[in-house]
Amino acid sequence: MSAPQVFGWCPGALRPMMSGDGLVVRLRVPMGRLSPDQIRRVATLARKHGNGIIDLSARANLQLRGVTTDSHAALVDGLREIGLVDADLAAEARRNITVTPFWQDGDDSHRVAQALARALSSEDAPDLPSKFGFAIDCGARPVLTRTSADIRIERSAAGLICRADGAEVGQSVRVETAADAALTLARWFLDTGGVTDGRGRMAAHIATRGAPVGAETAPLPAAPVPEPGVTPQGTLLGFAFGQTTAESFAQLAELGALRLTPWRMVLIEGVTPSAPLPDFITDARDPRRRVQVCTGAPGCRQALSDTRDAARAIAAHLSPDSDDTIHISGCAKGCAHPAPAPVTLTASHDGHFTLIRHGRAGDPPQSAPLTVTQIQDRRL
């Protein structure tokens, strides 16, 4: 079995990535917010120019799947009409910002994120690896601590700080200086050799080189990861296995504007849905929330098996007495859950998975290849 290919870059709207079901077009939605009209238009474009499947990524981005090379240009034109395409490829690649979905107009998160987006659109902005990202998390307590990012602007007991991912402390900043501090830290990363062959992440760089000097303020303890249900800002709805259809997505426009989150959920602004929403997860105890699963075959050309049908079948048999995460991966890359999981199932060939406990998808297996039925019988 050959090792899976690591691309080292992320798709965008202007630079899509070819997968097993066509081009994957990733939308980096400004501030993570879509108006009802934008929701409807995105759903229509996903059906017209793709296969109608929409993913919600772990960095709070939307992915439209099944786009063809012939339809891509028309899709980009449609996205540009509703303000979801950057001016050029360089600007799109730099604007890799995840914002807490609980921001409010004019608050610290909103102002810092807007300032950082403007700074990254400048021609003299640092040329960073495509996976390099920023987290803007200026609420009362950080909520994006587990979300992938390289530079974090978050709150301490004394105010805001700018922190390198992997460092325990950060530099004190104000709203007016936070964006400049983030770019200064990004340039430090480049100047101190953080990039090799176009790739590099801050935490790995910190681990080998050490944190930058001048940082001495610790962030506040992280808040728990939110769960589906009603919040002061609206209602969180989960995407089963991080995916939905264009038809289901369009239905959300009837509820109002939404915010994308890195937790495979959307936040419906200020709304408590009165009607059932069977296509979305509304119960924190829904067993589908325990399963982290990648695209799998045939959508991913590197996957050795379908994963989503397996995820649905396994979730239906999960014990209600456990909260352990189940990671189902179509190959050894483990894209859906790079960290160790209590239970990882890695595809070995079509319809078969090896079991790994407390490890990653690429770790040595602890079982012979198992069918989905055999996995169900183990009562994970």
- Cα 299 versus chain centre, distance: 18
What is the pLDDT confidence band of residue 319, given thresholds at 50, 70 and 90?
Answer: confident
| CB neighbours of residue 266 within 10 Å | 28
**Is the predicted pLDDT of residue 339 greater than 60, yes or no?**
yes
Q: Is 229 helix (H, G, I), strand (E, B) or coil?
A: strand
Q: What pLDDT score was predicted for residue 5?
A: 54
Q: What pLDDT score was predicted for residue 279?
A: 87
Instruction: State the average pLDDT for the chain.
Output: 94
- pLDDT over 70 percentage in the chain: 98
Q: What pLDDT score was predicted for residue 3?
A: 54
**Is the predicted pLDDT of residue 242 greater than 90, yes or no?**
yes
**Is the predicted pLDDT of residue 322 greater than 70, yes or no?**
yes
CB proximity list for 114: less than 8 A, separation 6 or greater: 31
Q: What pLDDT score was predicted for residue 334?
A: 94
CB proximity list for 95: less than 8 A, separation 6 or greater: 28, 86, 117, 120, 121
Q: What pLDDT score was predicted for residue 12?
A: 93
Average of per-residue pLDDT across 329-337: 93
52-69, pLDDT tens digit by residue?
999 999 999 999 999 999
What is the pLDDT confidence band of residue 378, given thresholds at 50, 70 and 90?
Answer: confident
Q: Is 101 helix (H, G, I), strand (E, B) or coil?
A: coil
Domain with CATH 3.90.480.10 in the chain: 17-85+233-269
Cα dihedral across residues 313, 318, 323, 324: positive or negative: negative
Give the global pTM.
Answer: 0.91
User: Containing H/E element for 235?
Assistant: strand 234-238
CB 235 within 8 A of CB 271: yes
Q: Which of 6-10, 207-211, 257-261, 361-365 has the lowest mean pLDDT?
A: 6-10
At which residue do the structure tokens 């530079």 appear? 151
CB 114 within 8 A of CB 43: no
Any idea which architecture 287-377 has in CATH?
Answer: 2-Layer Sandwich (3.30)
Q: What pLDDT score was predicted for residue 1?
A: 47
132-190, pLDDT tens digit by residue?
999 999 999 999 999 999 999 999 999 999 999 999 999 999 999 999 999 999 999 99
Token pair for 271: 């709304």
Token pair for 310: 């397996």
Maximum mean pLDDT: which of 40-49, 263-272, 317-326: 40-49
**Is the predicted pLDDT of residue 89 greater than 70, yes or no?**
yes
Q: Is 347 helix (H, G, I), strand (E, B) or coil?
A: strand
What is the pLDDT confidence band of residue 214, given thresholds at 50, 70 and 90?
Answer: confident
Any idea which architecture 17-85+233-269 has in CATH?
Answer: Alpha-Beta Complex (3.90)
Instruction: Please state, in angstroms and rounded to a whole number, the distance separating the CA atoms of residues 185 and 250.
Output: 40
Domain with CATH 3.30.413.10 in the chain: 287-377
249-297, pLDDT tens digit by residue?
999 999 999 999 999 999 999 988 777 788 899 999 999 999 999 999 9
Give whole-number Cα distances, 247 to 47, 244, 253, 264, in Å.
8, 8, 11, 18
